[in-house]
Amino acid sequence: MKKISGGVCAAKGFTASGIHCGIRKDKTKNDLSLIYSEKPCTAAAVYTTNLVKGAPLTVTKEHIKNGIAQAVICNSGNANTCNADGIEIAEKMSALVSENLPISAEDVVVASTGVIGQKLDITPIQEAVPTLCKSLSKSGNDDAANGIMTTDTVDKQIAVSFELSGIECTIGGMAKGSGMIHPDMATMLVFITTDVAISQEMLQKALSTDIQNTFNMLSIDGDTSTNDMVTVLANGMAENEKITSDNDDFKTFMKALNSVTVGLCKMIAADGEGATKMLECNVSGASSKSVAKAVAKSVICSSLLKAAMFGADANWGRVLCAIGYSKADVDVNKIDVSFRSSKGEIKVCENGHSIDFSEEKAKEILLENEIEILVDLKDGEFSSSAWGCDLTYDYVKINGDYRT
C-alpha cells in the first residue's frame, strides 16, 4: 500500500470540480463542489446522530436507500439546516446536477456546510451548476476540496493505492472540519471514492466498522454537528473480483480504507479551530477495547488537558483526572503516562503517582506541533487511539463572531 496524489480523483473514473458561486462573500474561496463517477457506484454512508439534522442528510439518505449514487454536490457557507424549505433546496440541487449530467437526480448525494438557520438561496447555485459540471476534470480534486471548507485553514485530501488479488486498486478522500467536531457516528463532511468492486452490504459494513475506531475517536470541541456525514462511492472500475463476503480481499480493503480515514482524522485534528498542536492519545494495556476507547476519548476531550498542551505544561494530573471520570474500569494505581514528540519522550507518571522528571525537557517536547499522550493501563492487551487538538484563545475568537 502506498500514498498517491489525486484525492477523490485518484480512483479510476472519478472527476471533480469546485468554483465560487456567490454563497460566500469571499470571492477567492470556492463554495460549490462536485464529484462525479462516469459509472454508477455502490454507495454507503453514515450520518450524525444529532436530532437536529441538515436537510441534505435527509435527502441523501433517501437517495441512496437503493445503494446507488453517481455524484456528490456540496456547498459551503450555509448548512441548509433548520430551514422550512431545506428539503426543497436540497432536492433542487440534485435536480440541477441531473439536468447537466447524464444521471438521475436520485443518484446524487447532497451536502451543505456552514451557518445553521439561515435560508439558502438557490439562485447562485442554479446559475453556477452548468459551469461546475463543465469544469469536471481528473485534476479537479484541489478545487473540490477547497469548495467544502468553512473555518478550515487547509484542505484535507489523501489517496492510497493497493492490490486486491493482484489487481491494482485505489481509494481516496477529502474532508472538511475544523470546529463543531465531536462525532457520534462519523464527523464533519467526508467524501471517499474508490474503484474497487464491492457489494453495498460489504461497503456499508466496512464504513460502519471503520468509523468506530477513527472518526468516532476524534474530538475538537465537544460539539456534534447537525450536518455530519461520511459517504463512500465505489464504481468497480478496477475490475477486481467483486467483494461480497468477509474474505482476504475485504480485509485488505478495510486496511486501505482505514489508512485513508486515519489520515483524514489527523488532518482534521491538526486544523482544529485556533489549534497550534495536534494531539494523539494512545492507550495500551487495557482490559478490553471498550475500556481503551473510553480512556483515549476522555483524555483527548479534556478541556483542561487541551489548555495545558497549548501552554506546553506537562500537567499529567489532568490526564489522570480525565481517565478517572471516563467511567472506564481501570486500576488507577497501575497507570503510567508519558509525553512524546519529535523532540523525544518523557515519562511523567508511574503507577498512578508522581515521579521526578525534567520540566525543561518536558516543555521542549510539548512545544512541538504534534504531541502524543501515552497511557499504559497495564491491565491487558487492548489498545486504542484518539485525536484532537489544543485549546487556544483563538478558538473563542473564531466562534465568538462566527455568524456575524
- How far apart, in whole angstroms, are the C-alpha atoms of residue 206 and residue 196? 13
Q: Which residues are catalytic?
A: 187
**In the beta sheet, which residues pair with residue 137?**
16
**204: nearest Cα among 241, 257, 157:** 257
Cell 464504481, located at residue: 235
Are 125 and 21 spatial neighbours (Cβ–Cβ below 8 Å)? yes
∠ Cα 179 52 272 (to 5°): 5
- How far apart, in whole angstroms, are the C-alpha atoms of residue 2 and residue 201? 26
